[in-house]
Amino acid sequence: MSYKLFIPGPIDISDKTYEAMKTPVVGHRSQDFVDLYNAVQPALQELMFTKDPVFLSTSSAWGVMEGAIRNLTQKKVLNCMNGAFSDKWYDVATRCGKEATALQFEWGTPIDPEAVRKELSSGEYDTITMVHNETSTGTMSDLPAIMKVLQEFPDVISVVDSVSSFTVVPIKKDELGIDVLLSGSQKALALPPGMAVFSPSKRAFARAEKLKDRGYYFDFLEFLKNHEKGMTPSTPVIPLINALKSKLEDIQAEGIQARYERHAKLNHLVHTWVENNGFELLPEKQYASKSLTCVKNNRNLEIAGLNKALKERFHCVIDGGYGKLKGKTFRISNMGDETEETISELLQNLDTLLPEFL
Ligand SMILES: *Cc1c(COP(=O)(O)O)cnc(C)c1O
């Protein structure tokens, strides 16, 4: 049975994208591949607002997230934690044998730039990790405010996960001074899972040069060396690169500004539904994500039952809460290719089912 995903990743994939994946595979050391690689580069740089190279990693985002730690942390890493994805980064850092501090904020609250300043003032750190848009709680932190604080700490390399916010809102990598901006394929980009994109700064490369145990698969310098030839270090997931090329063409055709506006509008539609139905957002409205909505289950809705009915009767699903928020919240994605029509239809379906599950 096929059904439409309104969960915040993986999300619904267009027929056009699936069609692009059928493009015959070429040798990854051929000129045809170099042409493909070079074709996606300018648009990726434009969308990341950067002059630095943007690499394609055949892995999910966590590969690059772990790789960033191995490439960049020499002294100690500060892991900003305010939800399931950012929390995990601390565990990843310690498992990589790095010294790390968990800077914790309550789930559903953003990263506090003042707390970051206070912690970094100790001078112990050379790396900081954060998730721009905590998908588990639907919370978007104030990236410009945090990056402003980081300007006071020029030795600290910043790693920013934009898996569920890339192309939803502008993230001006160079202007903000982000050292490594990364994203995955299956969230905001609406591609199948299996690929990550990431862009390290010159500072990040300089740091990597000083570290010996960068490993091989995620070695930033290996990526750079291959990038200069229009290639990746190992055989990449070519069908996904073809899908990415197609998606970048879609984004170009829509216009990036129109894309940001569409996401804001759809997000607002969901927020209005939440308010009209007596539900509340998990985060404060000011920090609510623009790519998904995390709703407090303050009306004691039977979410599992509702989702089952949604799937059986309307062939779509929402998310019943992530990790420790399962059952306590539910989440609705408005990322990727969603339109006023698809979101309105989902909300109508929810309206139909709501009385049965309250
Ligand atoms: C989904 C998600 C990830 C994890 O990505 P994988 O593709 O599972 O590696 C990381 N960060 C955020 C913010 C996410 O939403």
pLDDT along the chain (358 residues), means of 10: 95 98 98 98 98 98 98 98 98 98 98 98 98 98 98 98 98 98 98 98 98 97 98 98 98 98 98 98 98 98 97 98 96 98 98 97
Q: 191: Cβ below 6 Å to ligand 1?
A: no
Ligand 1 centroid vs 358 CA: distance in angstroms? 31
Residue 138 identity (one-letter amino acid): G
Q: Which CATH architecture best describes the domain 4-10+255-357?
A: Alpha-Beta Complex (3.90)
pTM of the model: 0.98
Ligand 1 pocket residue status of 88, Cβ below 6 Å = no
What pLDDT shows up at residue 1? Answer: 74
Domain boundaries, the chain: 4-10+255-357, 15-252
Predicted pLDDT of residue 257: 98
What local confidence, expressed as pLDDT, does residue 20 receive?
A: 98
> What integer pLDDT is reported at residue 354 of this predicted model?
97
pLDDT, one tens digit per residue, over 42-79 is 999 999 999 999 999 999 999 999 999 999 999 999 99
What is d(CA 223, CA 339) in angstroms, rounded to the nearest whole number?
36
Ligand 1 within 6 A of CB of 163: yes
| Ligand 1 neighbourhood includes 187 CB (under 6 angstroms) | yes
Residue 86 confidence (pLDDT): 98
- The gap from C-alpha 7 to its chain's centroid, in whole angstroms, comes to 14
Phi-psi region of 327 (alpha: psi -120 to 50; beta: other; left: phi over 0): left
Mutate-to-test residue for ligand 1 from 57, 130, 137, 163, highest number of ligand atoms within 8 A of CB: 163
**Residue 162 CA, closest ligand 1 atom number:** 13
223 CB burial (10 A radius; 0-12, 13-18, 19+):
buried
Q: For residue 9, which atom of ligand 1 is closest to its CA? A: 1
**In testing the pocket of ligand 1, which one of 69, 85, 129, 186 has its CB within 8 Å of the most ligand atoms?**
85
Residue 347 burial (CB count, 10 A): 18
State residue 334's pLDDT score: 98
Domain 15-252 has CATH 3.40.640.10: yes
pLDDT confidence of residue 61:
98
pLDDT at 103: 98
Residues contacting residue 75 through CB under 8 Å, at least 6 positions apart: 99, 124, 125, 126, 127
The sign of the CA dihedral 89, 95, 100, 101 is positive
Report the half-sphere exposure of 163 (CA within 13 A, side-chain side).
Answer: 29
Nearest residue (CA) to ligand 1, atom 2: 163
The phi, psi pair for 176, rounded to 5°, reads -80, -15
CA–CA dist 129, 106 (Å, integer): 17
Q: What is the pLDDT of residues 193-241, one digit of tens each?
A: 999 999 999 999 999 999 999 999 999 999 999 999 999 999 999 999 9
Residue minimizing CA distance to atom 15 of ligand 1: 135
